[in-house]
Amino acid sequence: MKRFGVHLAVVGVAVQFGMRHSKRFVCALVLLAAFAGCGYQFIGKGGAFPREVRTVFVDPLVNRTKEVGIDREMTTALKSELSRMGQLRVVDRLEEADAVLSGVIRTFDSRVVGVNRHDEALQYELLLVVDMNLRRRTPDEILWRTQGARFSDLYAGSRASVVTTSPESRALGYKDSDLRRFTDVQLTETTKDQARSRLLEAAAHDLHTRLLELF
């Protein structure tokens, strides 16, 4: 799946609980990641989203990584996505919410995925791994959960790896004259920041979409 120019892949476990099933053991569904350019699919019970759940409080995500501030950025991205789509109204106080969306950021890291013949980095992959759940407040029960949801995006490691005629470069406004003004280090930091923004936006959008589609 490719959304907002981001390549998404997920390997995880998604488990849902409903009132009817709250006393049953629910088998974990192992989701295999598709390869390059493919997306992922969660399995749900196929009913309607609970009609009585109209408001949601987004609990600040827990950051288990070394990346300072990524929890605040992802929390903001989720709130923005929920508000933009409008199916659930985001509230600022827990006592006003029908349900609470919370989660943990397990991984936020980058790694080299492309080098030239001199072993110089040409391309990096930015990886985000999160656990999320939606809990109804009354009665207290988990409505939706996903564990190990993985999202990734690519960014340039040198000027040589940027093709200014590509759709992605045109969308970002890159021109040959612009690249000549950057050092490789400056370009890497710039494209990493752009990839970070795309990644968080796309992850928030995809998680919200999957949450609603599960019911």
pLDDT above 80: residue 107: yes
More confident residue, 200 or 12: 200
Number of domains in the chain: 1
More confident residue, 48 or 114: 114
Tell me the residue range of the domain where 195 lies. 2-213
Residue with tokens 């974990």: 28
CATH number assigned to the domain comprising residue 111: 3.30.160.150
- Residues in CB range of 56: below 8 A, 6 or more apart: 82, 88, 89, 90, 91, 97, 98, 99, 100, 101, 134
Query: Nearest-CA neighbor of 133 among 145, 121, 141, 124?
Result: 145
Q: How many residues appear in the chain?
A: 215
Between 161 and 66, name the one with better pLDDT. Answer: 66
Q: Which residues contact 20 (CB under 8 A, 6 or more apart)?
A: none
Alpha-carbon Rg of the chain, whole angstroms?
19
User: 41: burial class by Cβ within 10 Å (0-12, 13-18, 19+)?
Assistant: middle
Report the pLDDT averaged over residues 199-212.
Answer: 94
pLDDT score recorded for residue 71: 98
pLDDT of amino acid 190: 82
Quote the CA–CA distance of 150 and 88 in Å, as a whole number: 24
CA pair distance 37, 192, nearest whole angstrom: 20
Q: What is the pLDDT of residues 109-164, one digit of tens each?
A: 999 888 778 777 778 899 999 999 999 999 999 999 999 999 999 987 654 545 44
The CA distance from 33 to 139, in Å, is 34
pLDDT for the residue numbered 50: 84
